[in-house]
Amino acid sequence: MQDIYTETIDPRIKRTRLLLQQALGKLLSEKDFDRISVQDIAEAATVNRATFYDHYPDKFALLECMVGQRFADLLAKRGVTFDGGCGSALRAIVLGVCDYLAAMPRLECERQIQMEPHLEAAVIAVIRRMLSEGIERHPPSNGVSASILAATLSWAIFGAAKEWIRTPDRSSSDVIADQIMALVTPIFLAATSGAPSQSQPHRD
Protein backbone atom coordinates (compact mmCIF):
# COMPACT_ATOMS: atom_id res chain seq x y z
CA MET A 1 0.00 0.00 0.00
CA GLN A 2 2.98 2.34 -0.38
CA ASP A 3 1.27 4.33 -3.13
CA ILE A 4 -1.37 5.61 -0.72
CA TYR A 5 0.68 5.97 2.44
CA THR A 6 3.85 7.56 1.09
CA GLU A 7 3.44 11.29 1.47
CA THR A 8 6.14 12.31 -1.01
CA ILE A 9 6.91 10.21 -4.07
CA ASP A 10 9.24 11.10 -6.91
CA PRO A 11 7.10 11.93 -9.98
CA ARG A 12 8.93 9.30 -12.05
CA ILE A 13 8.20 6.61 -9.45
CA LYS A 14 4.58 7.70 -9.24
CA ARG A 15 4.28 7.56 -13.03
CA THR A 16 5.75 4.05 -13.23
CA ARG A 17 3.45 2.78 -10.48
CA LEU A 18 0.47 4.32 -12.23
CA LEU A 19 1.48 2.60 -15.48
CA LEU A 20 1.73 -0.75 -13.71
CA GLN A 21 -1.63 -0.30 -11.99
CA GLN A 22 -3.28 0.72 -15.25
CA ALA A 23 -1.73 -2.27 -17.00
CA LEU A 24 -3.08 -4.66 -14.38
CA GLY A 25 -6.51 -3.04 -14.56
CA LYS A 26 -6.59 -3.49 -18.33
CA LEU A 27 -5.45 -7.11 -18.11
CA LEU A 28 -8.14 -7.88 -15.51
CA SER A 29 -10.76 -6.79 -18.04
CA GLU A 30 -9.40 -9.40 -20.42
CA LYS A 31 -8.62 -12.45 -18.28
CA ASP A 32 -8.68 -13.88 -14.77
CA PHE A 33 -6.13 -12.74 -12.21
CA ASP A 34 -4.62 -16.21 -11.80
CA ARG A 35 -3.72 -16.23 -15.50
CA ILE A 36 -1.91 -12.89 -15.38
CA SER A 37 1.86 -13.03 -14.92
CA VAL A 38 4.34 -10.37 -13.88
CA GLN A 39 5.71 -10.52 -17.42
CA ASP A 40 2.22 -9.80 -18.81
CA ILE A 41 1.93 -6.76 -16.56
CA ALA A 42 5.41 -5.47 -17.38
CA GLU A 43 4.80 -5.79 -21.12
CA ALA A 44 1.41 -4.06 -20.90
CA ALA A 45 3.02 -1.23 -18.92
CA THR A 46 5.95 -1.05 -21.40
CA VAL A 47 8.54 -1.65 -18.69
CA ASN A 48 10.83 -4.60 -17.99
CA ARG A 49 10.45 -7.17 -15.23
CA ALA A 50 13.29 -5.65 -13.23
CA THR A 51 11.43 -2.33 -13.16
CA PHE A 52 8.30 -4.09 -11.93
CA TYR A 53 10.23 -5.64 -9.02
CA ASP A 54 11.77 -2.25 -8.18
CA HIS A 55 8.26 -1.17 -7.18
CA TYR A 56 6.32 -4.29 -6.12
CA PRO A 57 7.45 -7.67 -4.75
CA ASP A 58 4.75 -9.52 -6.70
CA LYS A 59 1.46 -9.11 -8.56
CA PHE A 60 -0.50 -9.43 -5.32
CA ALA A 61 1.15 -6.34 -3.83
CA LEU A 62 0.40 -4.47 -7.06
CA LEU A 63 -3.23 -5.59 -6.89
CA GLU A 64 -3.59 -4.31 -3.31
CA CYS A 65 -2.14 -0.93 -4.23
CA MET A 66 -4.32 -0.65 -7.33
CA VAL A 67 -7.49 -1.49 -5.43
CA GLY A 68 -6.61 0.72 -2.48
CA GLN A 69 -5.73 3.65 -4.71
CA ARG A 70 -8.94 3.34 -6.72
CA PHE A 71 -11.05 3.18 -3.57
CA ALA A 72 -9.22 6.15 -2.06
CA ASP A 73 -9.77 8.05 -5.32
CA LEU A 74 -13.51 7.28 -5.19
CA LEU A 75 -13.76 8.74 -1.68
CA ALA A 76 -11.67 11.75 -2.69
CA LYS A 77 -13.88 12.47 -5.71
CA ARG A 78 -16.90 12.41 -3.40
CA GLY A 79 -15.17 14.80 -1.04
CA VAL A 80 -15.36 12.29 1.82
CA THR A 81 -13.37 13.26 4.90
CA PHE A 82 -13.71 12.12 8.51
CA ASP A 83 -12.86 14.30 11.50
CA GLY A 84 -13.86 11.78 14.13
CA GLY A 85 -17.16 13.32 15.14
CA CYS A 86 -19.46 13.41 12.13
CA GLY A 87 -21.99 10.64 11.57
CA SER A 88 -22.75 11.76 8.03
CA ALA A 89 -19.08 11.44 7.12
CA LEU A 90 -18.99 7.92 8.55
CA ARG A 91 -22.05 7.04 6.49
CA ALA A 92 -20.35 8.45 3.38
CA ILE A 93 -17.46 6.05 3.96
CA VAL A 94 -19.88 3.13 4.40
CA LEU A 95 -21.72 4.08 1.21
CA GLY A 96 -18.42 4.39 -0.63
CA VAL A 97 -17.44 0.85 0.39
CA CYS A 98 -20.78 -0.53 -0.79
CA ASP A 99 -20.68 1.30 -4.11
CA TYR A 100 -17.06 0.31 -4.73
CA LEU A 101 -17.69 -3.38 -4.07
CA ALA A 102 -20.85 -3.31 -6.19
CA ALA A 103 -18.86 -1.91 -9.10
CA MET A 104 -16.07 -4.50 -8.89
CA PRO A 105 -16.23 -6.82 -11.94
CA ARG A 106 -16.77 -10.52 -11.36
CA LEU A 107 -16.23 -10.19 -7.62
CA GLU A 108 -18.01 -13.48 -6.91
CA CYS A 109 -16.35 -15.50 -9.68
CA GLU A 110 -14.68 -18.59 -8.20
CA ARG A 111 -11.73 -18.24 -10.58
CA GLN A 112 -11.01 -14.83 -9.09
CA ILE A 113 -10.68 -16.28 -5.59
CA GLN A 114 -7.00 -15.26 -5.46
CA MET A 115 -8.02 -11.62 -5.57
CA GLU A 116 -10.41 -11.59 -2.63
CA PRO A 117 -8.05 -11.38 0.35
CA HIS A 118 -6.00 -8.66 -1.34
CA LEU A 119 -9.07 -6.65 -2.29
CA GLU A 120 -10.28 -6.98 1.29
CA ALA A 121 -6.94 -5.92 2.79
CA ALA A 122 -6.65 -2.91 0.48
CA VAL A 123 -10.12 -1.49 1.12
CA ILE A 124 -9.95 -2.11 4.87
CA ALA A 125 -6.56 -0.36 5.02
CA VAL A 126 -8.00 2.78 3.41
CA ILE A 127 -11.03 2.80 5.73
CA ARG A 128 -8.88 2.14 8.78
CA ARG A 129 -6.42 4.91 8.01
CA MET A 130 -9.16 7.48 7.34
CA LEU A 131 -11.02 6.57 10.53
CA SER A 132 -7.88 6.45 12.65
CA GLU A 133 -6.74 9.90 11.53
CA GLY A 134 -10.16 11.34 12.28
CA ILE A 135 -10.58 9.63 15.63
CA GLU A 136 -7.14 10.82 16.76
CA ARG A 137 -8.47 14.38 16.52
CA HIS A 138 -11.18 13.46 19.05
CA PRO A 139 -9.68 10.59 21.10
CA PRO A 140 -12.08 8.17 22.85
CA SER A 141 -12.69 9.26 26.42
CA ASN A 142 -12.82 5.73 27.82
CA GLY A 143 -9.22 4.82 27.04
CA VAL A 144 -9.83 2.85 23.84
CA SER A 145 -7.04 3.63 21.39
CA ALA A 146 -7.87 5.29 18.09
CA SER A 147 -6.21 2.42 16.21
CA ILE A 148 -8.31 -0.26 17.93
CA LEU A 149 -11.55 1.64 17.38
CA ALA A 150 -10.65 2.30 13.74
CA ALA A 151 -9.75 -1.37 13.21
CA THR A 152 -13.01 -2.56 14.78
CA LEU A 153 -15.12 -0.20 12.69
CA SER A 154 -13.28 -0.85 9.43
CA TRP A 155 -13.59 -4.63 9.69
CA ALA A 156 -17.26 -4.35 10.68
CA ILE A 157 -18.06 -2.01 7.79
CA PHE A 158 -16.26 -4.11 5.20
CA GLY A 159 -17.62 -7.40 6.54
CA ALA A 160 -21.21 -6.18 6.37
CA ALA A 161 -20.74 -4.73 2.88
CA LYS A 162 -19.10 -7.95 1.72
CA GLU A 163 -22.05 -10.00 2.99
CA TRP A 164 -24.47 -7.58 1.28
CA ILE A 165 -22.70 -7.88 -2.07
CA ARG A 166 -23.18 -11.66 -1.95
CA THR A 167 -26.89 -11.46 -1.13
CA PRO A 168 -29.26 -12.41 -3.98
CA ASP A 169 -31.73 -9.65 -4.85
CA ARG A 170 -29.86 -7.33 -2.50
CA SER A 171 -31.19 -3.95 -1.44
CA SER A 172 -29.78 -0.68 -2.77
CA SER A 173 -26.48 0.65 -1.44
CA ASP A 174 -28.35 3.51 0.27
CA VAL A 175 -30.54 1.06 2.17
CA ILE A 176 -27.68 -1.19 3.27
CA ALA A 177 -25.60 1.86 4.24
CA ASP A 178 -28.32 2.85 6.70
CA GLN A 179 -28.45 -0.69 8.08
CA ILE A 180 -24.67 -0.87 8.49
CA MET A 181 -24.72 2.51 10.23
CA ALA A 182 -27.31 1.16 12.66
CA LEU A 183 -24.83 -1.59 13.54
CA VAL A 184 -21.59 0.38 13.79
CA THR A 185 -22.85 3.63 15.30
CA PRO A 186 -23.36 2.09 18.80
CA ILE A 187 -19.74 0.84 18.69
CA PHE A 188 -18.49 4.29 17.73
CA LEU A 189 -20.63 6.06 20.33
CA ALA A 190 -19.74 3.59 23.09
CA ALA A 191 -16.07 4.39 22.61
CA THR A 192 -16.32 8.12 22.03
CA SER A 193 -18.84 8.81 24.78
CA GLY A 194 -16.97 6.81 27.39
CA ALA A 195 -19.95 4.63 28.26
CA PRO A 196 -21.96 1.93 26.50
CA SER A 197 -24.77 3.38 24.42
CA GLN A 198 -28.20 2.94 25.92
CA SER A 199 -31.14 1.65 23.93
CA GLN A 200 -34.25 3.77 23.85
CA PRO A 201 -36.80 2.78 26.48
CA HIS A 202 -39.85 0.91 25.27
CA ARG A 203 -43.01 2.93 25.23
CA ASP A 204 -46.51 1.53 25.05
| pLDDT score for 72 | 92
Residue 71 is assigned to a structural domain of this protein: no
Q: Are residues 100 and 56 in the same domain?
A: no
Per the structure, the complete domain to which residue 52 belongs is given by: 1-63
Q: Are residues 176 and 82 in the same domain?
A: yes
Q: Are residues 106 and 42 in the same domain?
A: no
| pLDDT score for 105 | 62
CA angle 168-78-87, nearest 5°?
75
Separation of CA 87 from chain center: 19
Q: Are residues 91 and 147 in the same domain?
A: yes
For residue 46, what is the domain's CATH number?
1.10.10.60
Q: Read off φ and ψ for residue 201, nearest 5 degrees.
A: -65, 145
Distance in angstroms (rounded) separating the CA atoms of residues 172 and 184:
19
Distance in angstroms (rounded) separating the CA atoms of residues 98 and 85:
21
Distance in angstroms (rounded) separating the CA atoms of residues 164 and 172:
10
Distance in angstroms (rounded) separating the CA atoms of residues 87 and 102:
23
Residue 42 is assigned to a structural domain of this protein: yes
Beta-carbon count within 10 A of 26 CB? 12
How long a stretch of residues is the chain? 204
| pLDDT score for 8 | 54
Q: Are residues 84 and 185 in the same domain?
A: yes
Residue 70 is assigned to a structural domain of this protein: no
DSSP designation for 112 = G
| pLDDT score for 193 | 64
Distance in angstroms (rounded) separating the CA atoms of residues 154 and 132:
10
Q: Are residues 179 and 100 in the same domain?
A: yes
Distance in angstroms (rounded) separating the CA atoms of residues 126 and 111:
26
| pLDDT score for 155 | 96
| pLDDT score for 106 | 53
* Cα-Cα-Cα-Cα dihedral sign, residues 144, 92, 166, 64: negative
Look at the chain and report how many structural domains it folds into. 2
CA angle 78-179-138, nearest 5°?
60
Mean pLDDT by groups of 10 residues along the chain of 204 residues: 54 93 93 92 96 96 93 93 82 95 67 76 93 86 86 96 92 96 90 49 38
Distance in angstroms (rounded) separating the CA atoms of residues 169 and 162:
14
- Containing H/E element for 76? helix 59-77
